[in-house]
Structure formats: C-alpha cells, structure tokens
Amino acid sequence: MAKAHTRRAAGAEDAGAAPEAARPGGAPRVMPGADQTDRAALTALPDRADQTDRAALEHLDRLPAVRECGEILVIDDVTGALTATGLETGRVVAWQTSRRAAEALAERFPQAIEAGRLVVAGLDPVGPVPLEEVAWASTAETALVRLPKALLALDHRARALARAAAARDIGFSLLASGRVKHMTRRQNEVLAAAFTQVEAQRGVGKSRALLATGPRKDLEQPPVMAGQAQVTVRGAAETIPLCGVGGVFGGAAADAGSLLLLASLDEVVRGGELDAVETAGDLGCGNGLLTAYLLRALPQARVVAADDDADAIDSTGRTLESVWRPEFRDRVELRWEPSFRGVPDQSLDLVLLNPPFHDGPGVDPTLVQGLLDAAARVLRPGGRLWMVHNSHLRYRPEVERRVGPVRQRVRDRRFTVLEAVSRPGPAAQR
Ligand SMILES: C[S@@+](CC[C@H](N)C(=O)[O-])C[C@H]1O[C@@H](n2cnc3c(N)ncnc32)[C@H](O)[C@@H]1O
C-alpha cells in the first residue's frame, strides 16, 4: 500500500487484480477460495432497495459527477440495489468486505460482469484487494457506502477513498448511509478527518445519509492498530505482536477467549500430544493470533488460516509479517473465504475455532453451526477441534452432534474451551 500512486490510463477492470506488492505482508499466499461446493449457502441478495439504500439513492442526482463520469464505486452493498442503480447509468466498481457478499453480488449481476460494466474487486483472480488500490484504478468520482458498524472501518474506508482521490487530483463525493439508531456524531467526525465537508442529508424513514466532499490532501494511510498477546509457546513465555485493520474483530487486541484456549492447548502441545499434527487450521482467523501461535508451537505443521472478512485477512497478513521467520513462509496459507470452503475434506489434523455468537445484540446459534460443520468436514477422522465459547452458552451437545465426542478442557467464569475428536464418516451423515 505504500506504493506511489500515479494516475493510470488503464480501465477499472484492473481493479480486480491484486498486485503482489499490495497484499498484506506480501509473503503469505492469499488463495481465492475457488471451490464452489457451498454455493447454496451463499447469502442471497434481496431483490429490492431497503430504506438505507434509498436514503443514499435519493440524493444521488444531486451529484453531477455521477452522470458525467459514468462510473461509481459501491462499497458494501448488502442488497444489490446500489449496484443496480449504478448500472442503470453506467459502470460500477464494487468492493465488499465480506467474501460471501462479494460473491452474492457477482451472482446477481453476471451479465453486467460479462459485459465489463461491473467489477467486483477481489473475486478474480485473487483477493482481497486494498480499497485504495481499487479506488485509484477506477475513474469514479462518487462512492456509495453502507456505513460499517465499526468507526475504525469507516475511518479506513474514508481515508482510502480520499487518498485515492487526492492522488488522482479529482473532486470526490462519498455518500454513506445507515440506520439512524446506529449513527453517531463520531461518524461525522471520522468522515471530516478525511473530507473537508460533511453534511447530513434528509432522512428516509429510519435511515439517513451523510455526504462527504472535498478529499483532504496529504492524508496518512488508514491506521494499522498495533497490539500484542502474552502467551506460552511450549511452556516458554512469548509475546506475539498483533496488527488490526479496519473493522477486524477485536482490533489488535488479544481476545480473552482465545488466550484461554491457547493456554490450555499449550499444555497439550508441551505434553507431546500434538506432535503428529501435520496440518492445522484457524477457522475465522481475525487478527491472526491463533495462526501465529500455531506456526510457532507446531514447527512440523502446515497451517491454513481463513476468514470471510477482508479486514481480517489484511490483519492476519500483517500479524504474520511481524512474527515472520523465514521458516514460516512456506508453511502458511491465507484464504479469503467463508467456512474453509476451498479446503479439501478430511485434510486437517487440528482446527482452532473462536466463532462469532452474535449477529447484532442477539445470539445467533446458526453462526456456530455452519462453522462446526465446516470444521467437521475438513478434519480427518480422529482429528481434533479446539473451540472456545462463552460459558453462559451451552454448545457442548451441538459440538458433539456435529463433530464428535467432546471433552471440556478448561472453563472459567467467562469462557469454556472444548476439544472434540472428529468421528469417521462424511460430515453430512453425522
Ligand atoms: C470471534 S472472531 C475470532 C477471531 C480470531 N480467531 C481470534 O481468536 O481473535 C470470529 C472471526 O470469524 C470470522 N468469521 C465469521 N463467520 C465466518 C465464516 N463463515 N467463515 C470464515 N470466517 C468467519 C469473523 O470475520 C471473525 O474474524
């Protein structure tokens, strides 16, 4: 990302390619998740604009650059309506944080992709692509953005777009919409750090858009958060530096549940019980803490780390770079994909999982179920799943049913760590 930007003549098709130098850390291979096996599980996009889309679209006509330049950027389009509107008048370059959402968009508009009128960044050939690269390669002077939940994610998107616009020496408008109940003054301030003017627009129902114009010059790159984790690796105290980008879970902080899992796992590693592990996986790698531990603690093992979230892949890449040792380079594979989709069945000896339990304020058990099924599928018979969950949730029967016999390794007031041994037979028949 430190690459100097000069305006290119190339079209926005190039936005889909991830230049080697742009990938986090440069070194870990980022695989595309090409396997199509769980197509049916992809998020289907609803057919029509929701209120939050309409809060942005209502003001689109006021932006002359949209009509004149014929191309817009669309960031985190969750319904497809922003893209559909952009395609009515021209070309769209879309950037989605979630790989599933990126694929859902591509599935919704195959003809536009075929005709070169829609580019979904990162899908072809290998993603994710930094947003700044995408914005810089596009001719668009407007971005429609679904406001992210995390302020740090908004800061990341706003700075990336403003920096690209400043490098292209153009005016640029960012129209970001969200539900009023989730909007705060801090969002205006974050946008105002990257743009000279920020105005709230008239609301539509319970949603509203913020219009940011005038990208600031000489902006710093989006910040990379820095933190660290104190762990024991084969009994010896070690510090693992962590990096966090945008809206990655936990930023650059070590999650307390993951630390409990690692403390318990390290006793088993030290006892030699995992010496035969040749392949290990970190399912939902976030900022890369568990992956970094696996690389250090199991010198004989190959490690695959995957996350559906582009910020997580960026963060894990940077964390691995900071714990880099030459011998790690060929042992790790980083995948932007949901649920280990491209990882072959029964190919891993060990999977670590710290799954999400909440979708918004409520507990959503289906989030864990899909990840348990993914773990069961990729584990070889006899392979082990180590999972941490909040102690007040009862996941043991679910893990037992979907993966195999369970043993509770440790439990404290907040977290419980379970180990399950994968049963023989196809995961679907368990
Ligand atoms: C609770 S965080 C744990 C992150 C990290 N492993 C840690 O220990 O700090 C869960 C992670 O799972 C990712 N995730 C959620 N659903 C996923 C899915 N279906 N496939 C891959 N990753 C997923 C989220 O993006 C998030 O980074």
Say whether pLDDT at 12 is over 50. Answer: no
Query: What's this model's pTM, rounded to 2 decimal places?
Result: 0.89
The answer, yes or no, to whether any atom of ligand 1 lies below 6 A from the CB of 373, is no
- Is residue 186 situated within a structural domain? yes
Report d(CA 81, CA 154) in Å as an integer.
21
Q: What angle do CA 232, 235, 239 make, to 5 degrees?
A: 25
CA of 216 relative to ligand 1 center, distance in Å: 34
The answer, yes or no, to whether any atom of ligand 1 lies below 6 A from the CB of 135, is no
Do 210 and 232 lie in one domain? The reply is: no
Cβ atoms 284, 307 nearer than 8 A: yes
The answer, yes or no, to whether any atom of ligand 1 lies below 6 A from the CB of 256, is no
- Is residue 130 situated within a structural domain? yes
The number of folded domains in the chain is 2
- DSSP per-residue string spanning 74-96: EES-SSSHHHHHHHHHSEEEEE-
CA of 250 relative to ligand 1 center, distance in Å: 10
Do 178 and 231 lie in one domain? The reply is: no
Do 359 and 336 lie in one domain? The reply is: yes
Cβ atoms 375, 400 nearer than 8 A: no
Q: Find the domain containing 265 and state its range.
A: 224-429
Structure tokens at 402: 């979907």
- DSSP per-residue string spanning 183-246: --HHHHHHHHHHEEEEEEPPPBTTEEEEEEEEEPSSPPPPPEEEEEEEEEETTEEEEEEEEEET
- Is residue 175 situated within a structural domain? yes
- The pLDDT assigned to 430 comes to 53
Q: Nearest C-alpha to atom 14 of ligand 1 is from which residue?
A: 284
Q: Which of 165, 193, 215 is the last residue of a domain?
A: 215
**Whole-Å CA distances, 46 to 77, 80, 84:** 11, 7, 12
Lowest-pLDDT range, 40-49, 189-198, 297-306? 40-49
Structure tokens at 337: 């994909």
- Is residue 412 situated within a structural domain? yes
Across the range 159-177, mean pLDDT stands at: 95
- The pLDDT assigned to 314 comes to 96
Q: What amino acid is encoded at 397 in this protein?
A: P
- For residue 254, give the ligand 1 atom closest to its CA: 9
CA of 283 relative to ligand 1 center, distance in Å: 7
Do 396 and 279 lie in one domain? The reply is: yes
**Residue range 221-261, pLDDT digits in tens:** 988 999 999 999 999 999 999 999 999 999 999 999 999 99
Do 257 and 377 lie in one domain? The reply is: yes
CA of 359 relative to ligand 1 center, distance in Å: 12
Report d(CA 229, CA 232) in Å as an integer.
10
CATH number at residue 362: 3.40.50.150
The answer, yes or no, to whether any atom of ligand 1 lies below 6 A from the CB of 96, is no
Do 234 and 99 lie in one domain? The reply is: no
Q: Which of 215, 242, 270 is the last residue of a domain?
A: 215
Pocket test for ligand 1, best of 307, 316, 352 (most atoms within 8 A of CB): 307
Cβ-based neighbours of 62, under 8 Å, separated by 6 or more: none
**Residue range 58-88, pLDDT digits in tens:** 988 777 666 677 899 999 999 999 999 999 8
The answer, yes or no, to whether any atom of ligand 1 lies below 6 A from the CB of 351, is no
Answer with the residue of higher pLDDT: 287 or 30.
Answer: 287
- Is residue 64 situated within a structural domain? yes
- Is residue 4 situated within a structural domain? no
Summarize the chain as % helix, strand, coil (round to 5).
Answer: 35, 25, 35
Cβ atoms 355, 387 nearer than 8 A: yes
Q: Which of 180, 215, 250 is the last residue of a domain?
A: 215
**Residue range 376-392, pLDDT digits in tens:** 999 999 999 999 999 99
